């Protein structure tokens, strides 16, 4: 299992490094929406593993936390290309503010990406307390973005 997780981390890093997805790569708005939803879903699953460790709901494993945080750091950069022009309609919970306030949305993205990076750095220390602090800070950026840019 551990080798599988390490393989996944390496695969994601190589995949992300080998190409950058941009909004022009989507021929249909539905594809962009599907892309961003899936990227956010996978990131959420990974992040929730860290959150469970930080909250004592699952056993803390320093190596697993480091691997998972690395995946979150990589994934944090991916979904934003899926918010291009024309993706405000369709099956989405995205609020109009994403497109009417692009500067504010970009700022929220950048804050989240920065916190995801700090999360990976904290996980590498192997200290549960460092992970708890980083999970809390990352969670705040999630809440802020969801409050301002996602319908319930």
Whole domain around residue 96: which residue ranges? 2-15+27-149
DSSP, residue by residue, the chain: -HHHHHHHHHHHHHHHHH----GGG-SSHHHHHHHHHHHHHHHHHHHHHHHHHHTTSS---HHHHHHHHHHHHHHTTSGGGGG-TTTTSSS--B-THHHHSHHHHHHHHHHHHHHHHHHHHHHHTT-HHHHHHHHHHHHHHHHHHHHHHB--
pLDDT value for 19: 47
The answer to whether residue 21 sits within a structural domain is: no
The answer to whether residue 95 sits within a structural domain is: yes
pLDDT value for 18: 44
Q: Residue 80 pLDDT more than 60?
A: yes
The answer to whether residue 20 sits within a structural domain is: no
Q: Residue 147 pLDDT more than 50?
A: yes
The answer to whether residue 121 sits within a structural domain is: yes
- Number of separate domains in the chain: 1
The answer to whether residue 78 sits within a structural domain is: yes
Average pLDDT over residues 48-74: 97
The answer to whether residue 37 sits within a structural domain is: yes
Q: What is the CATH number of the domain that holds 57?
A: 1.20.120.10
What pTM does this model have? 0.84
Please write the tens of the pLDDT for every residue from 84-141: 989 999 899 999 999 999 999 999 999 999 999 999 999 999 999 999 999 999 999 9
pLDDT value for 92: 94
Please write the tens of the pLDDT for every residue from 9-50: 555 555 554 445 555 678 899 999 999 999 999 999 999 999
């Amino acid at each position: 299992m551990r080798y599988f997780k390490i393989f996944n981390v390496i695969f994601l890093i190589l995949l992300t490094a080998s190409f950058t997805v941009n909004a022009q790569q989507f021929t249909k708005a539905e594809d962009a929406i599907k892309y961003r939803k899936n990227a956010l879903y996978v990131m959420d699953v990974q992040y929730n593993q860290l959150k469970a460790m930080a909250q004592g709901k699952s056993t803390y494993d320093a190596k697993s936390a480091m691997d998972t945080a690395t995946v979150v750091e990589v994934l944090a950069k991916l979904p934003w290309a899926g918010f291009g022009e024309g993706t405000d309609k369709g099956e989405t919970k995205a609020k109009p503010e994403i497109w009417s306030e692009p500067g504010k949305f970009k700022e929220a993205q950048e804050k989240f990406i920065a916190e995801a990076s700090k999360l990976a750095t904290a996980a590498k220390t192997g200290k549960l307390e460092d992970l708890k602090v980083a999970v809390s800070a990352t969670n705040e950026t999630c809440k802020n973005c969801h409050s301002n840019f996602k319908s319930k």
